[in-house]
Amino acid sequence: MRESYKTGAKWESIMSYSRAIRVNDVIEVSGTTSLDGDGNILFANDPFLQTQEILKIIERSISALGGRKQDIVRTRIFVKNIDDWQLIAKAHGEFFVGINPVCTMVEIARLIEPELVVEIEATAIISID
Domain that holds residue 8: 2-125
Convert the pLDDT of each residue in 37-77 to its tens digit.
888 999 999 999 999 999 999 999 999 999 999 999 999 99
pLDDT at 128 over 80: no
Buried b (16+ CB within 10 A) or exposed e, 72-101: bbebbbbbbeeebeebbbebbeebbeeeeb
- Please check whether residue 34 is in contact with residue 53, taking contact to mean a CB–CB distance below 8 angstroms: yes
Q: CA–CA separation, 121 vs 78, rounded Å?
A: 9
Whichever domain contains 20, its CATH number is: 3.30.1330.40
Number of domains within the chain: 1
Q: What's the pTM?
A: 0.95
